[in-house]
Amino acid sequence: MAIILDGKSAALSLETELAARVAQLGTPPPVLATILVGSDPASATYVKMKGAACRRVGLEPRPIRLPEETGTDELLSVIDTLNSDPRVCGILLQHPVPRHVDERACFDRISLDKDVDGVTSLGFGRMALGEAAYGAATPSGIMRLLAAYSVPLEGRHAVVIGRSPILGKPMAALLLNANATVTVCHSFTRNLPDITRAADIVIAAVGRPRFVRAEWIRKGAVVIDAGYHPGGIGDVDLDAVIPLTSAYTPVPGGVGPMTIASLMAQSVAAAEAMAGLRDG
């Protein structure tokens, strides 16, 4: 019987621990600032979910909504203000921003100490090198979920399907840092089914519904579905794949809750570092 890697349960346990740690920081509570440019409904929903998670662990959410026509310079000025605010422990710039905004410049303006979503070039580089930095929230959440269920990584062959800068690439780096052997696949990869069938761990982050099929998975593999599409469908054809796995993440209820919980964990760690309770 395959083990269900229950992200909801793991997230609840982590949030309970985080609430106790935030309480030790006293008042006023640390602030997690979220910047939303424009009115994309999905982005607005994500911001609300992050605000609710903040309140559950005792952080103060500070949502900042800017109009669609906001330019790069104006957005950089907002980030500068938050960087200098001693109560702000973390800064989130909701992706995507409008096309006329230089998103990379704005991401990289976030102070490394407040880059709790792992979006800066410096943070990515330090994370990849195994130095102190906050990793991208979804890969970090996956690593926390694997650890919660004691899934062994050292020496295992992990295949990551997807190479985005916020998921596939940092996921591969974190797995390498955990001594896994990692293969990164993408839309130009040849013989993808043959590659995934050799994997002990398959992480699907390709952004295509039910892309990973049962015949791609070997018996006993661990399957992590990091996708989410309308109707509660992931990147894996889970109904067909589950009987082959030793462990898997459900959709929904697997990776999603751990993404937000990991973001909260990194925000609390940043707040503790600002208070001098831990190294940055």
Do 175 and 86 belong together in one domain? no
Burial class (CB in 10 A: 0-12, 13-18, 19+), 217: buried
Last residue of a domain, one of 77, 105, 132: 132
Do 145 and 75 belong together in one domain? no
Q: Quote the number of domains for the chain.
A: 2
pLDDT tens profile 91-129: 999 998 999 999 999 999 999 999 999 999 999 999 999
Query: Domain range for residue 215?
Result: 137-256
- Specify the pLDDT at position 42: 85
Do 115 and 198 belong together in one domain? no
Nearest to 133 by CA among 146, 143, 120: 120
Assign residue 215 the CATH number of its domain: 3.40.50.720
- Residues annotated as catalytic are 50, 94, 117
Residue 7 lies in a domain: no
Assign residue 31 the CATH number of its domain: 3.40.50.10860
Do 247 and 150 belong together in one domain? yes
Look at residue 229 and give its three-state secondary structure: strand
pLDDT tier, 280 (very low <50, low <70, confident <90, very high otherwise): low
Tokens 């905004």 found at: 101
Residue 262 lies in a domain: no
Full-prediction pTM beyond 0.85? yes
Q: Tokens for 249?
A: 């993440």
